[in-house]
Structure 1
């Protein structure tokens, strides 16, 4: 069955021209010059796409567009206007239009927009995915991978208790969401959930923020206190916190459950002497390790679709994502974890002109994010993640093709140069010692120095 297009414009000549052009493309066209008639057709289920002018007589289609969108959420609207201003374009986007085409327009451009909009119409599989995503988006934690099932099992065992919980995981993995879910499914759910970050906190600040008359313990009375960034707590402040928690009179102790979180392993820091053992043992009653996104890639599909629904609920344009884009996401290492994925999809939802986000757009977003991190210096210390970002930028810049041949050798050269320079600097130019540090023989090092054109100090 040919796609049905509802055409609305009070210029009868333009309606005729567009009807003929659309008809030649095989579309069935129903035309009107009246906003009320258009709205009636939409409510009655007519049309697969609406192509409408902004103003028809004294009527503005933007006044009726929210109601039509509510009646037919998946029906794409393309808005045309001779008043081609930024304000008009923003009004179209704000009202939920799929696309905006300024008059006078190139007919080929308009037809391309029509084809894009119709190609994005959801099929039965897409509708099923959307229904699943709607259920997932309402959950405090999203994901059905084996790694997350382990997390859920521990959460289920401790939620109904008052045991202290230590949650560890990289930045952006969702540690606070885990803590909040434990609170909301436990006996203290009706009482406050208070979060305090301990990163860089001074001993005096610990007293005030936690134990003052209006401190966190007082505010979390009968509820849960979530202590973030424990691994960033300075040693003096660790001593003060351990003393305060230990010395607290059991009879006067605040009725508060403690859940703590750290990005690094507190057990390892404790063994290294960088974290107090007594404080670690006090907080590590039950441990939960939240896996990084790279270890739960099976969840990327559910997460991505749920985040797009969340973005729509927060006022961004409605978007779906195709399977090739999901696979492109799974190929990324996600040093920023779930938070990075959500921010990436929010940007794509806001900036993508199409209703379906494709692999090419994901590649462009990943490449842009990598370039911005390099420019601002906001890069992770994780070497593998830095290399992954560098490669993402390389492949994105070559989209839709592939990078120039020889990528392997180019990347190795980029790593080899600073590596050898660092080794030579650390050994003050002593090539014998530098070769030993690098694990290569001196002749190999000397050859590489010559090949790379490096300047060295002393030679032995």
Structure 2
């Protein structure tokens, strides 16, 4: 069937959008029929018209999400492209849940719509549109906020993954909302009735990671068994020690002998991992298993930093003010000047830094209206106190910056217990790794350079999970 023999049905209450789409599809050689209401669209479909539907969600007579089940019943193989200006995760998930072939956010790029139409019309005739198993909890507050193009891509990815049971790797800078994405995948998916179990590997001492995952015995079965039937979220997977990585790989492969004593079977767990680190770089350093990376990276979700979606900042800021008020902090509003100032900030701590700022301003200022003056004062007070005239940046300065960012990234600005040992370990591991690399794995020479007893160095290599690399510089 060529383009001229295929008909596209367009439904949108905006006459200008109907005109633009009609002209674009006509130029490509398709037949086109357009309407401004859902009732007419449903009649055309019921009468057997059309090879593709391109429709808006909000129509004057009906919400298209109420019409789509009837279309699917009448014409289960008819591809449908859904458009909406309500660019939220819920819209994307509802579109996937209703069996839409594609979801396009408004305002749209015309090339994106025509490309989606070509894909839909080129499918084999006996292939049905994929049906995600997602079930949106319509009355609950959405976990993710933003209508920007980068977030639309995140929503589309989540909508495609909630109905599957694939292992997911969430990539993004600290504070971008990786745990929120993991929770959305769990709560909108088929495992939503099971537990969502979280392990923050950056907050667990390395020597206790395996016990945390697999249990300590005597009734402690570990988080893996606890998550049986649900989802295990491994936050900051890049901090997992190599020995624990090996056991996790065996769990994914099904060769690790872990049994849930309540069922007598292996735990049935979906694994979602997240990291703000460059795992490929860690692989090059011998600190992360390449085979584990490929098993985790089955379905990657990449979260954009806040600086790349500044248009979402007003919605985020207002939402955080409302949340703070519900939690008992003084109610505030924010003016346009303050929002513009927020949009110009680079946000190294991303969404978490913005939320902490909004809560702080609610708590510390008596004014009911947050202005650019208040925002300026807070951003300046919490900016790194490093100037170019201070000369070369020292290791102490870099550590101070890292720690300041680490504190700012934490909920309420307070890190988990055990911070001292974790920070020392962060410095020790690369120091020993680089020294061993420089000495081609010669521990005697490395101990001399480091000023350590050889037995002390050997113990640190074992405790820190440092990979031995011989014959390399």
Structure 1 length-normalised TM: 0.50
Structure 1 residues 237 and 191: alpha-carbon distance in aligned structure 2, compared to 1, 3 A threshold = closer
Give the aligned partner of residue 146 of structure 2: 143
Paired with 2:332 and 2:206, the residues of 1 have a C-alpha distance of 48
- Residue aligned with 1:296, SS: helix
Post-superposition Cα deviations, 1:205-246, rounded to whole Å, max 9, x if no partner, equal 333211224311121121111001111223333234334443
Paired with 2:324 and 2:305, the residues of 1 have a C-alpha distance of 22
- Residue aligned with 1:225, SS: strand
- Residue aligned with 2:320, SS: helix
Whether the 8 Å contact between 1:167 and 1:287 is mirrored in structure 2 is yes
Give the aligned partner of residue 292 of structure 2: 279
Give the aligned partner of residue 234 of structure 1: 241
Q: CA deviation at 1:194?
A: 0.5
Q: CA deviation at 1:381?
A: 8.7
Q: 1:214 aligns with which of 203, 213, 221?
A: 221
Paired with 1:218 and 1:259, the residues of 2 have a C-alpha distance of 15
Higher share of residues assigned helix: 1
Q: 1:198 aligns with which of 194, 197, 201?
A: 201
Give the aligned partner of residue 293 of structure 1: 306
Which ranges of structure 1 fall in alignment gaps of 5 or more residues? 1-134, 387-460
Q: CA deviation at 1:200?
A: 7.1
Q: CA deviation at 1:318?
A: 0.7
Q: 1:263 aligns with which of 271, 276, 281?
A: 276
Give the aligned partner of residue 168 of structure 2: 165
Paired with 1:202 and 1:236, the residues of 2 have a C-alpha distance of 14
Q: CA deviation at 1:340?
A: 0.3
Give the aligned partner of residue 322 of structure 1: 335
Structure 2 length-normalised TM: 0.49
Paired with 1:365 and 1:258, the residues of 2 have a C-alpha distance of 39
Whether the 8 Å contact between 1:201 and 1:234 is mirrored in structure 2 is no
Give the aligned partner of residue 256 of structure 2: 248
Structure 1 residues 373 and 256: alpha-carbon distance in aligned structure 2, compared to 1, 3 A threshold = farther
Q: In terms of Rg, which structure is larger?
A: 1
Post-superposition Cα deviations, 1:270-328, rounded to whole Å, max 9, x if no partner, equal 24433101111111110011111111101101000000000001001110100110110
- Residue aligned with 2:379, SS: helix
Which runs of structure 2 are paired with 1:26-425 in the superposition (5 Å)?
138-199=141-202, 205-212=208-215, 213-246=220-253, 247-248=255-256, 252-370=265-383, 378-380=400-402
Paired with 1:377 and 1:319, the residues of 2 have a C-alpha distance of 35
Q: CA deviation at 1:248?
A: 2.7
Q: CA deviation at 1:199?
A: 2.4
Structure 1 residues 378 and 137: alpha-carbon distance in aligned structure 2, compared to 1, 3 A threshold = farther
Q: CA deviation at 1:376?
A: 12
Q: CA deviation at 1:198?
A: 1.8
Post-superposition Cα deviations, 1:68-110, rounded to whole Å, max 9, x if no partner, equal xxxxxxxxxxxxxxxxxxxxxxxxxxxxxxxxxxxxxxxxxxx
Post-superposition Cα deviations, 1:21-73, rounded to whole Å, max 9, x if no partner, equal xxxxxxxxxxxxxxxxxxxxxxxxxxxxxxxxxxxxxxxxxxxxxxxxxxxxx
- Residue aligned with 1:178, SS: helix
- Residue aligned with 2:169, SS: strand
Paired with 2:214 and 2:384, the residues of 1 have a C-alpha distance of 44
Count of aligned positions:
250
